[in-house]
Structure 1
């Protein structure tokens, strides 16, 4: 391994204390592997529009992590209203729409993706089968999941993909 690897981290700008602790723990783990996380509005600031800035930063990266924290809680709502697939939602959690945009951009740039979602997050990039990658689901407010094999083995596979991508 030589040098530092830039990884795009898709996450909300505003986090709770517990979510901040989780992101800090992830940053520590990655720093030990010479990985620098890049996020618009957190590590990188620009005069460009968000979409252009994201693209420019991602083009400097060799991988992406999508962290699907709950950003919207719907206590009760209707999904697909007035269609044959209409359904009532109760206690439904939604991640930031930027997760969807940034994941799609990373996918189009063929960056190795590690997709991690909070319990109960669904939709788009967080639906199984949307990409060829497994969607990892944990209670993201707790940091214990970062030390279990169900996370570490896929993480190490993703990390290997990042190393291979950077050597091309």
Structure 2
């Protein structure tokens, strides 16, 4: 089954939990296996290291962003000015961190965000993905619009899984030209060095077996001396 990484914060309300469960159920319905740190994935390592390992094993990532921090009034400091801001809602910072990590591995991203969140960082339209904004009603997951976006994203995930850039490549189906193009220049020089060493070892062995002669050096024909008959 295709594995996808889920980035979400700890749910603090029944509404948040119900919406997350609805999204996870829909992912399971379309044949995707969700991997979630702290729920079905655990590690003895520090979070960033453990998350990176899991993301590398996945073919896509889903970011479910909802309110973690909220304040009614504040200030936004910009160059030469201070702007008053109000009714600010922010998601967990892990949404941004994990989305950036998934994007660095070129995983297709499905970003689902609660209406009213501050649109910034990775929770913002204009990158290589579209943010799906929602009121976090579980019934929204069953809507045609959500299903359409989900299916479009799933197609990108399946394409990523089958692409030659995937970590699992069937070399028996890759042509020589394509195989060479997949090798970096330093790797190519190392390969040439190894081949040269093997040729030298084989040639050296042949030289020794040939009693000091290279395989291409033919031994001159010996002249047969006529047998002399004894004098009678």
TM-score (normalised: structure 2): 0.66
Per the alignment, residue 158 of structure 2 pairs with: 163
- How do residues 7-156 of structure 1 correspond to structure 2 at under 5 angstroms? 7-80=4-77, 83-121=79-117, 122-129=119-126, 131-140=127-136, 142-156=137-151
Q: Structure 1: any 5+ residue segments left out of the alignment?
A: none
* Alignment: residue pair count: 162
Name stretches of at least 5 consecutive residues in structure 2 with no aligned partner.
164-232
Tell me how far apart the structure 1 counterparts of residues 151 and 30 of structure 2 sit (CA, whole Å): 11
Q: 1:156 to 1:40 in 2, by over 3 A?
A: same
Answer whether contact 1:11 1:68 (CA < 8 A) is retained: yes
Greater strand percent: which structure?
Answer: 1
Identify which range, 17-26 or 92-101, moves more after superposition.
Answer: 17-26
Separation (CA, whole Å) in 1 of partners of 2:142 and 2:129? 20
Change (3 A) 1:87 1:37: same
Q: Which has the higher helix share?
A: 2
Considering only aligned residues, what root-mean-square deviation do their CA atoms show, in Å?
1.4
Which structure would you say has the larger RCO, counting Cα contacts within 8 Å and 6 or more residues apart?
1
Deviation at 1:76, TM superposition (A): 0.8
CA contact (8 A) 1:74 1:89 kept: no
**How far did residue 85 of structure 1 move?**
4.8
Once the 2 structures are TM-superposed, how far is the Cα of residue 14 of structure 1 from its aligned partner? Answer: 3.5
Contact kept, 8 Å, 1:22 with 1:143, in 2: the verdict is yes
Q: Output the CA distance in 1 between the equivalents of 2:157 and 2:3.
A: 9
Q: Distance in 2 between matches of 1:7 and 1:69?
A: 19
